[in-house]
Structure 1
Amino acid sequence: MSSEYYEYQLTIDKILDSGSRSFPNREIVYRDIRRYTFSSFSDSVKRLMSGLKKLGVKKGDRVGVIDWDTDVYFHTYYAIPMLGSVLHTVNIRYPLELIVKTILHAEDKYLIVRDEFVPLIEKAANIMPVGMKVITYSDNKEKVKSPISSADFWELIESNEPIEVSEDLKENDMATIFYTSGTTGEPKGVWFSHRKIVLHTLSVSLVGARAPLNLTSNDVYLILVPMFHVHAWGYPYVALLSGVKYVLPGKYDYGLILKLMDKEKVTYSAMVPTILYLILSHPDAPKYAHVFKRWKVTIGGSALPEGLAKKAKELGITVIAGYGLSETCPVLTTGYYNSLVEGLDEEKKFMEQISTGAPIPLVQIKIVDPSTGEEKERGKIGEIVVRAPWLTQEYYKDPEKTKSLWKGGWLHTGDLAYMDEYGYLHIVDREKDAIKSGGEFIPSLLLENAISLHPKVSQVAVVGIKDEKWGERPVAFIVPKEPINEEELRQFLLNLANEGKIQKWWIPDKFIFINSMPLTSTNKIDKKVLREMAQK
């Protein structure tokens, strides 16, 4: 019997088409510079596909992007993978040497570069891939004058008619590649297929609708995760699928971000803890109390300190924590309410929602002994290992590290945690950050959380340094909110120890007061730098 059965492919164009069909008038806003409806954005993406194709971009070609969080970047999230080529989101906070190294390793054939980054690329022109074409652009649409410029981004859109996706595009084709933040050595390439991104988008969209976020298509997103970092946690795809208005901030300016939140009636954001701290401590923040009362926030990237979470709650902000890695696309867990938690009292629910969270749909998590791989009981600390349909299958061109990543058929995160009675993860440390003192581990994240509760502490980070007697001892770095001394902090922690909340021997031997924390390229606190400072 003959059949005309069509095997449906889970490709990124399906997300764009769904959003533009179901929510044609919903908006994408880039600062106060440009606005699109989902319908006009879809047309613009398909014109860009046409322009890139005429320029010579073919299936499988890597196209790097060097930009802030702009409408141009938003176009590339769709147009490049939909053409069958591969989007390389280049980390602009790397030093030039690492930027070039990742471009060479990814084998980029094209670069899309914002005008202010053109001088950077000109410096490295003689070591870039031979024959690479550079597409440049400026916000005001004036052509960029540079010997390295091969084409103008806006011209690629405006001088071409829209095209549709080729039938050759398959769900298992590579769609994106980027590089880890390099906090544990050289950056490693991770890549994701169309299918992985679509499934991740579906799951993140589904879990966002659960309490306490209760997100709907009437929410307004302003995501403060750099677009070069793990697909901005997938939200540029979630936005189109969920039908929400999406606000792009460009280069982060926290005064402007507060104005945008007010003007565009933003209700939801996602970010690392440092960004939330910078917003809440901004001099203009008190003027936006009415904005905070409607604001919902997901925190990921690093642990959410309890002190910061409580400050947000006092301002009326609904805040939850989430967890994931560059290798996991990234979302694995969020602090939504499962059926075991939804009936608890408000204080208990709050503590669960700011924990590392519960697995989102389709994610499997185990806590195992790092040395034997045996699964741990509830409440026991071990390494988090995961399975989900969107995890990277390898470190690009690095079979040895891939073998370690996927040992035993589970992706190894290197994070130490326990699972509580309600099924929520509680990360206690990175395996590499754990402080082993006298043969026992001091969980730096739990110690940081305790110190964050002091009302005079703005930010805290704990690292271990070598000690002749104990092997390692903790050192705490403090950004004070107001003047505070070491004895005051030591007594505060001693009181917590007497209450049974921490162990006395966890109390740091030394407290170092600094004006600001060193940050990684993804705005996480850079503990490598802190360890160097602590040794001096």
Structure 2
Amino acid sequence: MINTKLIPRTAQAYETPMLIKHLLAQSLKYEPQREIIYRDLFRMTYVDFNRRVRQLANVLTNLGVGPGDTVAVFDWDSHRYLECFFGVTSLGAILHTINVRLSPAQILYTMNHAEDKIVLIHEDFLPILNGIKSQLTTVNRFVLISDKVYTDSSAVTIPDGFDGEYEGLLAEASDQYDFPDFDENTWATTFYTTGTTGHPKGVYFSHRQLFMHTMGLLSYVVGYEAVPFRSATDVYMPITPMFHVHAWGFPFLATMMSVKQVYPGRYEPEMLLRLLLKEGVTLSHCVPTILNMLVSSPVAKQVDLSRWKVIIGGSALTKGLARAALDLNISVYAGYGMSETAPVLTITYLNDQEKPLPINEQVDLRTRAGRIAPFVELRLVDDDGNPVPHDGQSLGEVVVHAPWLTQGYYKEPDRSAELWRDGWMHTGDVATITPDNWLQIADRTKDVIKTGGEWISSLEIEDLLSQAAGVAEAAVVGLPDDKWGERPHALIVLKPGAAENVTTDQIKAGLLDKVQRGELNKWYVPDRIVFVPEIPKTSVGKIDKKKIRSEMKDMILGLSA
């Protein structure tokens, strides 16, 4: 322990805690008349927004929500979600952003595991809730969210057992609320991430961690201008689900800066492009699938997108997609992080020597995982935890220190200890780091498949396939897909004599039946199932997925054509 000298504490002095309410307070200081917009349905100023956040706090308090209670939200990217980012957390309650892409069974697990007390749900997701409602163990209040209130309020039907509709409850609530001070380490948000076998894991963040993540983004994209983001000239529209790591943290930053914000609701190419052009959107972030969908639209080739900056994460930004975007004068950048890292660890940063480079040379840089962000310490280690040199060539697992990393997984001490072994957060990604701080992801230590921005486990699919009649052994790998980034493909060895009675269509139909029953997410169904006499193995008898990808990829994809 280093012998340091602490500053004397004065009993009367006020020590400002790093709370989300203080990020919100900045939004009224300089440009309170700037707007927050939802589709073509709703517009408000920051004055209105702050009033609505206080009304939401009163609604929740009147419904019995107190400090430490968990509020679950099912919604598209919206102004309401943004209000929950601030209104729920500033109460001292916990915001649970529900991943609506999980299967109903997984959603049920996360809600019971998080001990949700109240649910705010868009009517589009009522079928999911209706299927699991009777099995919820801690929820006792429900609030409906409906877009019909902006077009025809008489068409809104409030289900039995619900306390009302979001807009109606806000309208009846007081707009006076004094958010309290509390410890900055108070739990603020939670959500659930998949990617390994077993149930989804609960990731959680404190006010301090989210405050510091916002300061990290502020210093990198505003201070260093890694992705230039200016309060006076930029318009922000997320195209990342707000249940995904707080929409990558940018809503907190945009609100603090009083930036004009646009929320698109359900992702529809026509609506996204219309909002982008009509509202003058200049900064977005999304997974490659969404960008590919937009640049492939005929409309994109007919309009001026030269002011649009897009940060790509979730999966690798390919050179082909980067060039397609740059050909449309869209500035693309790569970012890297995890659910557990809040998430930003790296973002593309072109220095004074790199900015003048020809586009072809910039593509090579822009498709790396990015440069290490301020306040982030990344290292590479080998299997024994020994440091690996940052020479741009040597491979190692990425481990990290930063002020905004989750402390672990909720109610899972063993998994938390594994995540933080040796005092560093282990990402499970293998990469190189250059002497000038560029990160390049090479592979993953676990065979997680990224498809359409979602993470799915090859081991879970193998387990499901192994339970099908006639299956002796199964191996699943993720292979490149132009549309989704990656898709799972399966190799199966049948039991003796089963070939006459089992077909690949039957096996796939069994998985699809699980999807229909809500037991399985549709992303888990392999694009192709191939029967093989044997599956490649390593010298110790493990499935050799590296060999499958390198030596059998063309065979599998050829059969898929």
TM-score (norm 2): 0.78
Gap change, CA 1:413 and 1:340, over 3 Å in 2: farther
TM-superposed CA distance for 1:336, in Å, is 1.4
Q: 1:49-84 deviations in whole A, cap 9, x for unaligned?
A: 112111111000000001111122111111000111
Q: SS at 1:512's partner residue?
A: helix
2:93 corresponds to 1:85: yes
Q: Say how many residue pairs are matched.
A: 470
In the TM superposition, 1:256-295 aligns within 5 A as 256-288=271-303, 290=304, 292-295=305-308
Q: SS at 1:22's partner residue?
A: coil
**Equivalent AA in structure 2 for residue 304 of structure 1:** L
**Equivalent AA in structure 2 for residue 147 of structure 1:** D
Gap change, CA 1:131 and 1:366, over 3 Å in 2: closer
Gap change, CA 1:130 and 1:399, over 3 Å in 2: closer
Gap change, CA 1:511 and 1:460, over 3 Å in 2: farther
> Which stretch of the first structure deviates more once superposed, 256-265 or 200-209?
200-209
Q: Is the 8 A contact 1:115 1:144 kept in 2?
A: no
2:161 corresponds to 1:148: yes
Which residue does the alignment assign to 1:386?
400
Q: Is the 8 A contact 1:340 1:422 kept in 2?
A: no
Q: 1:358-405 deviations in whole A, cap 9, x for unaligned?
A: 111110000110333433342200100001010000100000000100
Q: SS at 2:209's partner residue?
A: helix
Q: Is the 8 A contact 2:55 2:177 kept in 1?
A: no
Q: Please give the alpha-carbon distance, in whole angstroms, between the structure 2 residues aligned to 1:424 and 1:147.
A: 55
Which residue does the alignment assign to 1:526?
none
In the TM superposition, 1:1-16 aligns within 5 A as 3-16=11-24
TM-superposed CA distance for 1:137, in Å, is 2.3
Q: 1:477-528 deviations in whole A, cap 9, x for unaligned?
A: xxxxxxxxxxxxxxxxxxxxxxxxxxxx779442526999xxxxxxxxxxxx
2:458 corresponds to 1:410: no
2:62 to 46, 54, 58: 54
Which residue does the alignment assign to 2:536?
467
Give the CA RMSD over aligned residues.
2.7
**Equivalent AA in structure 1 for residue 295 of structure 2:** L
Q: What is the identity percentage for the equivalent residue pairs of Structure 1 and Structure 2?
A: 37
Q: Please give the alpha-carbon distance, in whole angstroms, between the structure 1 residues aligned to 2:220 and 2:373.
A: 6
In the TM superposition, 1:31-430 aligns within 5 A as 31-130=39-138, 132-141=140-149, 142=153, 143-182=156-195, 185-209=198-222, 210-211=224-225, 213-217=227-231, 218-288=233-303, 290=304, 292-338=305-351, 341=354, 347-378=360-391, 379-430=393-444
Q: 1:81-113 deviations in whole A, cap 9, x for unaligned?
A: 011100000111111111111000000011001
TM-superposed CA distance for 1:116, in Å, is 2.2
> Which stretch of the first structure deviates more once superposed, 408-417 or 238-247?
238-247
**Equivalent AA in structure 1 for residue 422 of structure 2:** G
Which residue does the alignment assign to 2:508?
none
Q: 1:267-301 deviations in whole A, cap 9, x for unaligned?
A: 1110011111111112433233x1x2221110011
Gap change, CA 1:172 and 1:473, over 3 Å in 2: closer
Q: Please give the alpha-carbon distance, in whole angstroms, between the structure 1 residues aligned to 2:196 and 2:297.
A: 28
TM-superposed CA distance for 1:473, in Å, is 5.5
TM-superposed CA distance for 1:432, in Å, is 1.7
Which residue does the alignment assign to 1:512?
557
Q: Is the 8 A contact 1:474 1:510 kept in 2?
A: no
Q: Please give the alpha-carbon distance, in whole angstroms, between the structure 2 residues aligned to 1:421 and 1:335.
A: 15
TM-score (norm 1): 0.82
Q: 1:446-490 deviations in whole A, cap 9, x for unaligned?
A: x96xxx9xxxx66764879642699445667xxxxxxxxxxxxxx
**Equivalent AA in structure 1 for residue 378 of structure 2:** I
TM-superposed CA distance for 1:151, in Å, is 3.1
Which residue does the alignment assign to 1:494?
none
Q: SS at 1:425's partner residue?
A: strand
Which residue does the alignment assign to 1:431?
445
Gap change, CA 1:47 and 1:31, over 3 Å in 2: same
Q: SS at 1:140's partner residue?
A: helix
Q: SS at 2:28's partner residue?
A: helix
In the TM superposition, 1:450-461 aligns within 5 A as 461=486
Q: SS at 1:265's partner residue?
A: coil
Q: Is the 8 A contact 1:341 1:422 kept in 2?
A: no
TM-superposed CA distance for 1:129, in Å, is 2.1
Q: Please give the alpha-carbon distance, in whole angstroms, between the structure 1 residues aligned to 2:219 and 2:300.
A: 31
Q: Please give the alpha-carbon distance, in whole angstroms, between the structure 2 residues aligned to 1:511 and 1:32.
A: 45
**Equivalent AA in structure 1 for residue 219 of structure 2:** L
In the TM superposition, 1:442-453 aligns within 5 A as none
2:29 corresponds to 1:29: no
**Equivalent AA in structure 2 for residue 239 of structure 1:** A
Q: SS at 1:376's partner residue?
A: coil
